[in-house]
Amino acid sequence: MLIFYSMLYLSICKDYTKITVFYALGMVVAFCLAWIFNKLLDMEVTFSMLLGLAIGFFLIAALEMGQIKDYFKDNSGNYKGVLEYFKKYWQLVIANFCYTLGLYTHNFVFWTTDLHIIVVKSYVCCEPFDMATYLAMLTSISCSVIFISNVERRFHGRYKDYSEAVIGGKLSEIARSELRMFRQLSFELMNISRTQFIITVVLFLAIVVLLPLYGMSGLVMQIYPCLAAA
Is the confidence at residue 165, as pLDDT, over 80? yes
Residue scoring higher pLDDT (28 or 167): 28
pLDDT in tens, 56-67: 999 999 999 998
Report pLDDT for 81: 85
Amino acid of residue 20 = T
Is the confidence at residue 145, as pLDDT, over 80? no
Is the confidence at residue 52, as pLDDT, over 90? yes
> What 3-state DSSP class applies to 125?
strand
Report pLDDT for 61: 93
Distance of CA 230 to the CA centre of its chain: 17
Is the confidence at residue 16, as pLDDT, over 80? no
pLDDT in tens, 117-134: 988 888 888 888 998 888
Grade residue 201 by pLDDT with cuts at 50, 70 and 90. Answer: confident
Give the C-alpha separation, 26 to 18, whole Å.
12
- Residue 14 phi, psi dihedral angles, 5° rounding: 65, 30
- CB within 8 A of 171, min separation 6: which ones? none
Report pLDDT for 40: 92
pLDDT in tens, 67-115: 888 888 888 888 888 888 998 999 999 999 998 898 888 888 889 888 8
